[in-house]
Amino acid sequence: MESSLELTTSLSGTSLPPLRSRIFKIIVIGDSGVGKTCLTYRFCAGKFPDKTEATIGVDFREKVIDIDGEKIKVQLWDTAGQERFRKSMVQHYYRNVHAVVFVYDVTNGASFRSLPAWIEECRQHSLGQEVPRILVGNKCDLRDAVQVGTDVAQKFADSHSMPLFETSAKNPNDNDHVEAIFMTVAHKLKSQKPLVLSQPPGADSTVPVRKREEEEERGPWGCSC
Ligand SMILES: Nc1nc2c(ncn2[C@@H]2O[C@H](COP(=O)(O)OP(=O)(O)OP(=O)(O)O)[C@@H](O)[C@H]2O)c(=O)[nH]1
């Protein structure tokens, strides 16, 4: 599989955002095998990956999008679902997060039942209710194998004040849908005007995207405009 850097639209030359463009850090979490890598790949590369391996630690994928004429860098943190691959990285995922995408597999009831544990992990890492969250049920192309019905998922989403999206990273017809899911999050974040500073070109993408001291002064949703 191509590395995350090869997917980085902002490194491709012409589409570099201006130095002080906004960056939205969105973490994608859920059980191993639910399709987090495929969904983030689908959004950033516009296709389903030829093959995937279990994510170790975290993978980054970035895409520069245009919202109302403003170039915004969406930085997706594709986290490992397997506990043994998460341990050392987990505190980094949750630093300066702007939004969370919870993913379950509609054909795997256990991945749906794990969601409260993922929500609890967010709480333990001090992610406040002000951080937008969405719920994504993936692998809808496997219609005959569905174990988690829309009604049950919708109830769960409502009880946690999250919008629910059911989609397929695999089905090419859902390409626009996957795009729309992440664009919805980006639009919401843009309307909330978080303070984010971009890194100089070539900087290590693991560097926290917001300056801590400014964040502490202004709060997590302070505005740089
Ligand atoms: N049919 C179908 N298969 C999918 C879909 N999305 C992912 N898969 C398959 O599900 C398996 C796991 O996908 P990944 O994207 O690697 O899952 P992950 O959640 O990133 O897994 P971890 O890295 O272990 O946390 C792979 O074999 C994918 O090909 C989908 O929408 N439909």
Assembly ipTM: 0.99
Helices (H) and strands (E) in the chain, counts: 8, 6
The pLDDT assigned to 201 comes to 39
Q: Is 55 near ligand 1, meaning CB less than 6 Å away?
A: yes
Q: Is 170 near ligand 1, meaning CB less than 6 Å away?
A: yes
- pTM for this predicted structure: 0.80
Q: Per DSSP, what are the bridge partners of residue 28?
A: 78, 101
CA 53 to ligand 1 center in whole angstroms: 9
CA 21 to ligand 1 center in whole angstroms: 32
The pLDDT assigned to 132 comes to 94
CA 69 to ligand 1 center in whole angstroms: 34
CA 43 to ligand 1 center in whole angstroms: 14
Token representation of residue 127:
């992610």
The pLDDT assigned to 35 comes to 97
Best of 1, 29, 37 for a ligand 1 pocket test (most atoms within 8 Å of beta carbon): 37
Query: Atom 27 of ligand 1 has which residue's CA nearest to it?
Result: 52
The pLDDT assigned to 180 comes to 92
Identify whether the C-beta of residue 194 lies closer than 8 Å to the C-beta of residue 187: no
User: How far is the first Cα of the chain from the last one, in angstroms, to the nearest whole number?
Assistant: 39
Q: Is 111 near ligand 1, meaning CB less than 6 Å away?
A: no
Write out the chain's pLDDT in tens, 225 residues.
Answer: 333 333 333 344 445 555 567 899 999 999 999 999 999 999 999 999 998 899 888 888 999 999 988 999 999 999 989 988 887 778 888 999 999 999 999 999 999 999 999 999 999 998 988 899 999 999 999 999 999 999 999 999 999 999 999 999 999 887 789 999 999 999 999 888 644 444 433 333 332 223 333 333 333 322 222
Identify whether the C-beta of residue 67 lies closer than 8 Å to the C-beta of residue 190: yes
The pLDDT assigned to 215 comes to 34
134: burial class by Cβ within 10 Å (0-12, 13-18, 19+)? Answer: buried
52: number of Cβ within 10 Å: 17
CA 38 to ligand 1 center in whole angstroms: 6
CA 210 to ligand 1 center in whole angstroms: 31
The pLDDT assigned to 90 comes to 82
Largest CA distance in the chain: 52
